[in-house]
């Protein structure tokens, strides 16, 4: 019987369990988008996960969303990540970098550049800047000749990720960022080969993934998707048809996995499970919603056909989440005030479960 603690073969790796640490922005990078020793400790503390997927890493300065986030587009950034991958591997873990191009979800105050998107349509909401939240600006619509260059930025960052020691990468195709914007029917108003009908709206995603798979190998390449999600004001029409078409094209590439978020009704998600022939990582609850993934939700989706289950916030406050779930220990609550405040408090200060009596600490 398959459980959360059953081994799984993913590409060239054997995962010791089915738990994936989901990507979560923590804005702890140093100036210049450099990874830090604290980031190495943070990820190494959680290396018992079957697989860690890092916070979103920008593939270019143009692709940066929030201040304080790390990059993979300079030699210095690449070198800085080696301390992270080495620490995770020394603790027996496996780690993918999530490559995240923000597209229109950015601000000139953060990057010095006007954000870009499929069309000149602003995101809904306020974006983070060094001076605090600001209304999302209207992006510059990418010219047709520029679009392939942005797709290739994922592949270039993926090469740097492998150079830095990562076991693979996950393209962020979800939550209203650039790939998601191209899939959208209200952020993408293009009338050329990258907009309009479904076959055109999925083109950017397919090109970005194909370029990445060619650069580092399909077995090292995954993608995260949020079918029907409305983050940053994106909307999608014909959601089932859109994602079935996308998965059909991605299936030709023999990727490591597709990572789905529970952003649509279960019937639609089960249809996508059936449409995807490869490994499915399932995030069973709405990201940043009122509920966190627990053992019950994980077991249910394993029974519904997912091979791996991603946990987000539970991993923040419980670096030993695997052991806590394995032995039915209580989970520590997360301090939301420390999500993005910087520093080590609420980052490195969550302990493993403290056993009492003759039992030792783990």
d(CA 90, CA 92): 5
d(CA 38, CA 83): 10
In degrees and rounded to multiples of 5, residue 216 shows phi and psi of -125, -5
Q: 192 — alpha (psi -120 to 50), left (phi > 0) or beta? A: beta
Burial of residue 211, with CB atoms counted within 10 A of its CB: 0-12 exposed, 13-18 middle, 19 or more buried: buried
Output the CA torsion sign for 189, 195, 196, 201.
negative
Length of the chain: 362
Provide the 8-state DSSP code for 18.
S
d(CA 84, CA 242): 36
- 43 tagged catalytic: no
Distances (CA, A) of 212 to 56, 73, 150, 260, 296: 16, 14, 12, 19, 35
E-state strands within 50-94: 51-57
Output the CA torsion sign for 319, 320, 322, 326.
negative
* Residues contacting 157, CB < 8 A, separation 6+: 57, 58, 59, 60, 72, 73, 97, 99, 169
Catalytic hit among 43, 177, 243, 353: 177
**Residues identified as active-site:** 177
């Amino acid at each position: 019987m398959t459980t959360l603690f059953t081994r799984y073969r993913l590409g060239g790796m054997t995962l010791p369990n089915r738990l994936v640490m989901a990507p979560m922005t923590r804005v702890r990078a140093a100036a210049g988008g450099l990874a830090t020793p604290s980031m190495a400790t943070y990820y190494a503390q959680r290396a018992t996960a079957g697989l860690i997927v890092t916070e979103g890493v920008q593939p270019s300065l143009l692709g940066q969303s929030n201040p304080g986030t790390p990059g993979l587009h300079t030699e210095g950034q690449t070198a800085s990540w080696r301390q992270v991958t080495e620490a995770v591997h020394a603790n027996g873990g496996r780690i993918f970098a999530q490559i995240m191009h923000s597209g229109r979800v950015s601000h000139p105050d953060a990057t010095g550049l006007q954000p870009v998107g499929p069309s000149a349509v602003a995101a809904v909401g306020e974006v983070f800047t060094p001076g605090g939240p600001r209304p999302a600006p209207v992006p510059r619509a990418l010219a047709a000749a520029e679009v392939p260059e942005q797709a290739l930025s994922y592949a270039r960052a993926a090469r740097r990720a492998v150079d830095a020691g990562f076991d693979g990468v996950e393209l962020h195709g979800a939550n209203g960022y650039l790939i998601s914007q191209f899939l959208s029917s209200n952020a993408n108003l293009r009338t050329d080969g990258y907009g309009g009908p479904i076959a055109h709206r999925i083109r950017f995603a397919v090109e970005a993934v194909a370029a990445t798979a060619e650069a580092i190998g399909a077995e090292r390449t995954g993608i995260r998707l949020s079918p029907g999600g409305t983050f940053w004001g994106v909307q999608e029409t014909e959601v089932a048809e859109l994602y079935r078409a996308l998965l059909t094209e991605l299936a030709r590439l023999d990727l490591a996995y597709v990572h789905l978020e529970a952003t649509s009704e279960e019937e639609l998600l089960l249809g996508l499970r059936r449409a995807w022939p490869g490994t499915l990582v399932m995030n069973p609850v709405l990201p940043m919603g009122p509920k966190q993934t627990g053992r019950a939700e994980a077991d249910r989706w394993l029974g519904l056909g997912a091979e791996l289950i991603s946990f987000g916030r539970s991993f923040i406050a419980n670096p030993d989440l695997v052991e806590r779930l394995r032995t039915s220990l209580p989970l520590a609550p997360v301090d939301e005030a420390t999500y993005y405040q910087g520093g080590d408090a609420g980052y490195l200060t969550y302990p493993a479960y403290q056993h009492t009596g003759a039992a030792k600490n783990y």
